[in-house]
Amino acid sequence: MGPDMDGRQPDRRHAAPDIREALAMDIKGFLAEDEALRLYDLAGEACRLGPCLEIGSYCGKATAFLGLACRNAGGRLYSIDHHRGSEEQQPGQEYFDPELFDRARNRIDTLPFLLRTIKILDLTDTVIPLVGRSEEIAAFWKKPLALIFIDGGHSFEAAFADYSGWVSSLLPGGYLLIHDIFPDPSKGGQAPRCVYEMALSSGLFHALPMVNTLGILRRSLCGEIPQTAGDRWDRLAEIA
């Protein structure tokens, strides 16, 4: 695939056959093609450093691209979801999909759709689905991670829990990716954007160019000063 560190987009015409297959599958989900291709590139790079984690598997649309990258590079992807749908996917809400509703149990169940995606793309030995709430799994998690993709609930409480619960597991040099960042509040909820800005203002991350609504932050290496932290120090030094 194309270059991955300068913000330019990979070209679908040169995509590997398995990527073209995943793009053609029309997996249920909310992920633009340019975002999918960028996830593939970032996971392919990151998984050489350690395992990757997705929060919010849904039906496996992003899982497909993260997972294929990990499989092709010999890495691993953990993918967390309680599979009962987020707030806006419940009956009567804006993103409710009746095909995902299990009438026998009277609830949303996206797990069969995720497992189908994993099986069709031959990701069974690469993707490890974790069924449960992100904060409960985070509470006992010990393994350092090279990439964390936050794409779970869109309330501030959910997005903040996904950030605060997991960020300490991210390796130096690893990626923190946050989906659904809309600068214009009329285009989407602001919780992911707020979490992105909080992470950036921590001084622990470098921002890479966004791709569509995908925010890309790289955890600084030890002793490496990100631009935002340097700017803050310069302002304080001026005042002093």
Active centre residues (catalytic):
154
- Report how far Cα 216 is from the mean position of its chain's Cα atoms: 9
With CB atoms as reference, the residue minimizing the distance to Mg ion is 179
Q: Give the SS3 label for residue 198.
A: helix
Query: CA distances (Å), 87 to each of 1, 32, 92, 163, 165, in order?
Result: 36, 21, 10, 18, 20
Least Å distance, CB 57 to Mg ion, is: 11
Q: Which is nearer to Mg ion, 81 or 180 (CB)?
A: 180
Q: Decide whether 81 or 151 has the Cβ nearer to Mg ion.
A: 151
The CB-of-179 to Mg ion minimum distance in angstroms stands at 4
State both tokens at 101.
């509703």
Distance, CA of 240 to CA of 227 (rounded, Å): 20
Residue closer to Mg ion, measured from CB, 179 or 218: 179
Give the binding-site size for Mg ion (rule: CB under 5 A).
4
Q: How far is the CB of 12 from Mg ion (least distance, A)?
A: 20
Query: With binding defined as CB under 5 A, does residue 35 bind Mg ion?
Result: no
Q: Which of residues 95-154 bind Mg ion (CB under 5 A)?
A: 151
Measured CA to CA, the distance from residue 116 to residue 105 in angstroms comes to 20
Classify 99 as helix, strand or coil.
Answer: helix
User: d(Cα 145, Cα 171) in Å, to the nearest integer?
Assistant: 6
Beta bridge partners of 216: 177, 208
Site for Mg ion in 157-196 (CB under 5 A): 179-180
**Binding pattern to Mg ion, positions 14-33, x when CB under 5 A?**
----------------x---
In contact, 114 and 81? CB cutoff 8 Å: yes
Which residue lies nearer to Mg ion by CB, 50 or 192? 192
Least separation in angstroms between CB 45 and Mg ion = 21
- Residues in contact with Mg ion by CB under 5 A are 30, 151, 179-180
